[in-house]
């Protein structure tokens, strides 16, 4: 329950934004302003000038000291959009202060850091949720339904690609997005998160190995092109592709099985199933189930936990950690743990 709210009342969730480092921070601030049950009341940022500007724009208080903000008892939850490598320190501090946490992906660059974060949230009994928006999209629900029905037969290959021209267009991405000290990586850990958690979801389990290769087409310190191959013991493969240096690259999902094939976004947002006897059958794509932020607010109001979201988030870091280790060593990296989702 949100502090100070009588039972049965409409809950108003009072939020603070912790950092405007991430490009999506402004999106969540606007979503909070538009949501009938949320209000942004405070901002903290390690960049004081940036934080003050955004606090003024939002009509919120600016706190130069994170501890001072977290000590406020009129703040129920925080949106963490600081640098990826700062997530562990910022989120554990927020959880220790009893705040619910909504954070940009990834939860943290390493599984060890993720475990510190989840343990802090469990001790506090607070909601911890990641921004995994494509988990709630209609095509994801439709694809999961086809997989559950067994229409494709034995799944052999899952391929998911997401790329844009952020490293080609000046000003598209802020320069700090190419700083490994802040990001812990480039196109794969940022944009590639989406195809990675979708490939993991559609495979139905954590793969046994990850092999990856990175490209540096624009000369940045982090990769601007990446491919990761997820290998399963039964021979099934997941192929994850991401890039910051691709013009007009459509979001693409391919699922190939021993009986049929399912395609989405090649390039139109249509879901196509290979029909018996040749040709393609278009399947209905339902409306999405809402944004991650909307789900986060609902979990706070209902006193529930986003179990699938967090399980996929932890596996996402497992896979990212393995992918970056593979890129460094040039060898496949074994993956352990995880839960079946």
Task: Specify the DSSP element, H or E, that contains 156.
Answer: strand 155-163
- If we measure between CA atoms, which residue out of 198, 197, 317, 193 comes closest to residue 262? 198
pTM equals 0.94
CA distances from residue 212 to 182, 202, 222, 332 in whole angstroms, order as listed = 21, 19, 14, 8
- How many other CB atoms are found less than 10 A from the CB of residue 320? 28
So what's the pLDDT on residue 336?
80
* Tens of each residue's pLDDT in the chain, 341 residues: 354 444 544 548 999 999 999 999 999 999 999 999 999 999 999 999 999 999 999 999 999 999 999 999 999 999 999 999 999 999 999 999 999 999 999 999 999 999 999 999 999 999 999 999 999 999 999 999 999 999 999 999 999 999 999 999 998 999 999 999 999 999 999 999 999 999 999 999 999 999 999 999 999 999 999 999 999 999 999 999 999 999 999 999 999 999 999 999 989 999 999 988 889 999 999 999 999 999 999 999 999 999 999 999 999 999 999 999 999 999 999 998 755 56
Res 11: pLDDT: 47
Q: Which fold does the domain 134-291+319-334 belong to in CATH?
A: Dihydrodipicolinate Reductase; domain 2 (3.30.360)
Q: What is the pLDDT of residue 179?
A: 96
Structural domain spans, the chain: 13-126, 134-291+319-334
Measured CA to CA, the distance from residue 150 to residue 322 in angstroms comes to: 30
What pLDDT is stored for residue 337 in this prediction?
A: 75
Q: How far apart are CA 317 and CA 13, in angstroms?
A: 29
Instruction: Give domain 13-126's CATH architecture.
Output: 3-Layer(aba) Sandwich (3.40)
């Amino acid at each position: 329950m949100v502090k100070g709210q009588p039972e049965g009342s409409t809950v108003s969730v009072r939020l603070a934004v912790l950092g405007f480092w991430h490009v999506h921070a402004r999106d969540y601030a606007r979503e909070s302003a538009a949501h009938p049950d949320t209000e942004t009341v405070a901002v903290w940022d390690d960049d004081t000038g940036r934080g003050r500007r955004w606090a003024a724009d939002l009509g919120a208080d600016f706190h130069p000291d994170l501890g001072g903000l977290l000590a406020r008892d009129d703040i129920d939850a925080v949106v963490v959009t600081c640098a990826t490598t700062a997530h562990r320190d910022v989120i554990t501090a927020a959880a220790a202060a009893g705040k619910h946490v909504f954070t940009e992906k990834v939860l943290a660059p390493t599984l060890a850091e993720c475990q510190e974060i989840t343990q802090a949230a469990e001790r506090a009994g607070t909601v911890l949720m990641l921004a995994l928006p494509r988990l709630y999209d209609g095509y994801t629900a439709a694809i999961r339904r086809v997989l559950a029905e067994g229409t494709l037969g034995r799944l052999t290959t899952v391929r998911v690609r997401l790329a844009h021209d952020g490293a080609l267009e000046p000003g598209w991405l802020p320069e700090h997005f190419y700083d490994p000290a802040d990001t812990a990586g480039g196109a794969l850990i940022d944009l590639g998160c989406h195809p990675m958690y979708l490939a993991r979801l559609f495979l139905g389990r954590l793969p046994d190995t990850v092999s990856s290769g990175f490209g540096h087409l624009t000369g940045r310190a982090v990769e601007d092109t990446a491919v990761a191959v997820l290998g399963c013991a039964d021979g099934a493969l997941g192929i994850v592709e991401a890039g910051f240096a691709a013009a007009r690259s459509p979001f693409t999902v391919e699922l190939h099985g021993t009986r049929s094939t399912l395609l989405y976004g090649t390039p139109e947002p249509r879901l196509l199933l290979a029909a018996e006897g040749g040709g393609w059958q278009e399947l209905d794509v339902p409306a999405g189930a809402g944004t991650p932020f909307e789900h986060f607010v609902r979990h706070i109001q209902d006193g529930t936990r986003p179990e699938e979201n967090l399980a996929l988030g932890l596996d996402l870091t497992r896979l990212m950690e393995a992918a970056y280790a593979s890129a460094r060593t040039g060898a496949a990296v074994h993956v352990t743990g995880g839960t079946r989702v």
